[in-house]
Amino acid sequence: MSNMAVFASLGDAVLQAKRRLPHMVFDFIEGAAGLETAADENKSAFADIKLQPRILQDVATRSLNKSLLGESYALPFGVSPMGMCDLIHPGADRLIAEVGHTRNIPVCLSTAGSSSIEDFSQWSKNNASKTAWFQLYVQTPEIAMDMVKRAEKSGYHTLVLTLDVPQVSRRVRDIRNGFEIPFRIGPRQFIDFAMHPTWSINRLLNGIPRPINFELSGDGKPFDRNAQRTGADLEFLRQLRERWKGNLIIKGVMSADDALLLQSEGVDGIWISNHGGRQLDAAPPAISALPKIRAALGPDYPIIFDSGIRSGEDVVKAIALGADFVMLGRAILFALGAKGARGLDCLFDIFSNDIDTVLAQIGCANVENLDGNVLAALKQAV
Ligand SMILES: Cc1cc2nc3c(=O)[nH]c(=O)nc-3n(C[C@H](O)[C@H](O)[C@H](O)COP(=O)(O)O)c2cc1C
């Protein structure tokens, strides 16, 4: 079966994942803060951005290669950090690390991932200096610095500090479903699992994933998802900048003032994101922040973007609006939930083909040359 036959679109993958995964697991992926307005608007804002069709341009040979932070990657998109990916599919973190290596793209392990910093580096074929990145949450500076030490020892070169989760938001779906980390199985969850036998058998065979990095660093206590993550203040940032010699990227930036401060503090790049709408429901669509922040930072400062990316067209739009690189969040988990490794592969093929075709349609042969000239009309969202 060709990859394209696994599913024809991300929309189809979402439907397959919904059938295959227990409700509580699907809702953990798809859910967001509050009324889920920010999550919805992240996507609808992209629909309001239009690309300008062009003809008679030289687009016979097209390139999707994209450089970022001095590295050359084969595609302009990678994988955002996401906690507990292995819940969706056993070995998901490993598949993500491997796809980073085989496709030559950056992929980011979360602090709350179900795999260790050390394993993720090894699975990337010890390519952590390029394709495997590590994302840090700071509950206490001591635990965080221990993780930084482990990341350094494991060969990582790019550290992503996420700052938009000072406190995990109320996510109604998780509360309704009794979703907790570490996992708790009561009668309700039992029924949900029994109705999704493929997933449940896989889980029985592979065990319940845990956010292992918190056990390996610090006092060895299990991860408390609801504990504050406010340990990362400006002083911590300065200490981290001093301590970490590789690339330091700050994720969760939505304000031009914050971006300017980070630039002046010697951070190597920022990651514009509203956490896929999972934190502040009243946040503006992430894509609306991009042109303003790009204008404030100037043309050369590295900007990564995520939140609401659901197609290759969205990747092209974000780059045209000023992003150097784009990351996929939920799209990756839906693909894994739908068909595991084959789903992940299929998603990459769909996005790559989509970007390639879009470049031909808009008369731009190289993603490196995408800029505001390829945009047709911007509605008020941006
Ligand atoms: C299930 C799930 C878990 C996530 N866990 C983390 C995390 O541990 N660290 C982090 O920085 N971001 C986390 N995020 C946010 C993603 O990195 C990314 O910013 C977001 O998913 C992008 O929006 P999108 O899903 O609409 O593409 C998570 C997102 C999801 C869906």
Residue 118 CA, chain-centre distance (Å), reads: 20
Q: Domain spanning 3-378 has what CATH number? A: 3.20.20.70
Average pLDDT on 100-107 reads: 97
CB 213 less than 6 A from any atom of ligand 1: no
CB 322 less than 6 A from any atom of ligand 1: no
Average pLDDT on 161-175 reads: 94
Q: What does the pLDDT look like over 39-98, one tens digit per residue?
A: 999 999 999 999 999 999 999 999 999 999 999 999 999 999 999 999 999 999 999 999
Least confident segment among 192-201, 243-252, 280-289: 192-201
Please report which confidence band the pLDDT of residue 1 belongs to, taking 50, 70 and 90 as the band edges: very low
CB 343 less than 6 A from any atom of ligand 1: no
CA distance 254 to 240: 21
CA distance 225 to 215: 13
Whether 275 is a known active-site residue: answer yes
Q: What's the confidence (pLDDT) of residue 185?
A: 80
Residue 3, Ramachandran bin (φ over 0: left; ψ between -120 and 50: alpha; else beta): alpha
CB 177 less than 6 A from any atom of ligand 1: no
- Domain ranges for the chain: 3-378
Pocket test for ligand 1, best of 164, 330, 333 (most atoms within 8 A of CB): 330
Q: What does the pLDDT look like over 126-148, one tens digit per residue?
A: 777 899 999 999 989 999 999 99
Tokens in use for 157? 């070169």
Average pLDDT on 281-306 reads: 98
CA distance 313 to 13: 17
Q: What's the confidence (pLDDT) of residue 380?
A: 52
CA distance 206 to 229: 30
In angstroms, what is the span from residue 29 Cα to ligand 1's centroid?
9
DSSP 3-state helix, strand, coil percentages of the chain (rounded to 5)? Answer: 45, 15, 40
Task: Indicate if the pLDDT at residue 3 is higher than 70.
Answer: no
Least confident segment among 42-56, 92-106, 181-195: 181-195
pTM for the model: 0.96
- Other C-beta atoms lying within 10 Å of the C-beta of residue 78: 26
Average pLDDT on 205-231 reads: 83
In angstroms, what is the span from residue 80 Cα to ligand 1's centroid?
6
Q: What does the pLDDT look like over 9-46, one tens digit per residue?
A: 999 999 999 999 999 999 999 999 999 999 999 999 99
Averaged pLDDT of the chain? 94
